[in-house]
Chain A
Amino acid sequence: MERPSTRQLLAAFGVPLLIVIAATLYLLIVNDRLPEQVAIHWGGDGAADGFISRANLPWFVAAITFAVSAPFVAISIMSTSKSFSPGLFHALPASLSAFLGVVMVLTATVSLDSTEAPNFPTWVIPVSLAVAFGAGVIASKLAGPAPAIADTAAPAPSSAERFPIPEGQTAVWSGRTPMGRNLMALVAFFAFMNIVVAGVTSWWLLGLVVVTVLVILTTSSFDVTAGPSGVRVAGVLGFPRTTVPLNQIVMAEAGSVKAMQFGGFGWRVRGKGQTAVLTRSGPALTVTRTDGAQLHVTLDDPERPAAVISALLDQRSSV
């Protein structure tokens, strides 16, 4: 793995760290004004039902924000090298830590100078989401533009299957990643369990669960096109998305991937420039870029887009 730049490290690690430090410092400064027991959990009626001592609150906030963000920091640093959608991965740790940090800080702030724990302030969620979005944008900008990828005009490897494109014409293949039964079962189970848990505990948590399930569903199916612009992969709502331009493609081939190789389903990043868009294990299109990075996308008939790209690579090399 190539070393990430200072800017990328700042975006992936610096921004979340700054958020954790700022939240902890704030809670230490206002500590004397907090009630002895500060609410950190609320019931279905919005009334507080879980507490922590004010002395422990700053460290609890620091620990939980850091613990939840840490895996995303690791993914972000890994994805800085040969990534297919670097902006998204630079934004994730900052957004997540900002969301958690702001929720914790604001819910503590509403109890300043009071002896009783107030009900959960619902406005905290939209405010925290807005701050999280802003932090993600800042982290993305801070990381800077993605490194330039070399162009190539070489034909496809001689062993590759070609889709016959008539002289002077171009071709585009389009399809959609299959809905994996295991993934759907997992989403349904997750949604059911969380709705039950959220319904019993906190109604506002139910809203978050619904948003989370929607996010999972938007990344459970992807539109894929292979044509003169290269290979494009986009979530059903148009996000997340990535494009591998044709002039950066060395090879497109049909193969097979296992979800466990990438640690699960969805948009997965592994070291050494390996990215996978997985909705199940099995047949997949693998696109190799000039810098050696590879994008794997599960498809029922990966041979056809691979053959279209191979033919377009030949066409490009003969111009």
Chain B
Amino acid sequence: MILTLDLASDRPLFNQIVDGVKRSLVDGKLEPGESLPPGRELAGALDVSLETVQRAYRHLADEGIVTSRVGRGTRVSESVDIGEMALGASVDEIVEHARSVGVSRQRLIELITTAYG
């Protein structure tokens, strides 16, 4: 698994780890059933606190993307819907784009409704 992070960005580090795991799944660099690195190893590799990584893993578990079990570590759920995750990432980008060009929430919904047909 390869994670890319922007350590200088304003986005919290745990969110970046969450994004990185999702991106790795969407890109096919990480597959359902595959293990995520142990929290302490990832924290050490990124030079961030263990709590940051654990928070990211908890967040991913809450979203149903990973499962954590004692003795088996943290693994990507077999039932994870990668297609929907990819769509979610695209929606995030569209919302970010809309904000940057000053398009309101209501107007964005209208645009999506029109496009959806």
Binding site for B on A (CB under 8 A): 163, 165-166, 168-176, 223, 225-229, 232, 234, 238, 243, 304, 308
Contacts and interface: CB of A to CB of B under 8 A. Distances in A.
| Chain A, interface SS category | strand
Contact of B46 (A165, A223, A229): A229
A243 B8 contact: no
Given A304-B2, A308-B2, A172 B42 contact: yes
Contacts of B4: 165-166, 169-171
8 contacts: A173-B2, A174-B45, A225-B37, A225-B44, A226-B45, A228-B46, A229-B47, A234-B38
B35 A176 contact: yes
Contacts of A229: 44-47
A170 B5 contact: yes
Interface of B: 1-8, 35-38, 40-42, 44-47
Contacts of A174: 1, 3, 36-37, 41-42, 45
Given A172-B46, A173-B1, A174-B1, A225 B6 contact: no
| Chain B, interface SS category | mixed
Nearest to B29: A304
A235 B8 CA distance: 31
Nearest to A307: B2
Given A169-B7, A227-B45, A238-B38, 19 more contacts: A165-B4, A169-B5, A170-B4, A170-B46, A172-B46, A173-B1, A174-B36, A174-B37, A175-B37, A223-B38, A225-B42, A225-B44, A229-B46, A232-B44, A234-B38, A238-B40, A243-B44, A304-B2, A308-B2
A225 B41 contact: yes
Contacts of A168: 6, 8
Contacts of A234: 38, 41
Nearest to A243: B44
Contacts of B35: 176
Contacts of B38: 223, 234, 238
Nearest to A166: B4
B45 A225 contact: yes
A172 B7 contact: no
A281 B47 CA distance: 32
A232 B43 CA distance: 11
Contact of A223 (B6, B8, B37, B47): B37
A229 to B, nearest CB: 5
B6 A172 contact: no
A228 B45 CA distance: 6
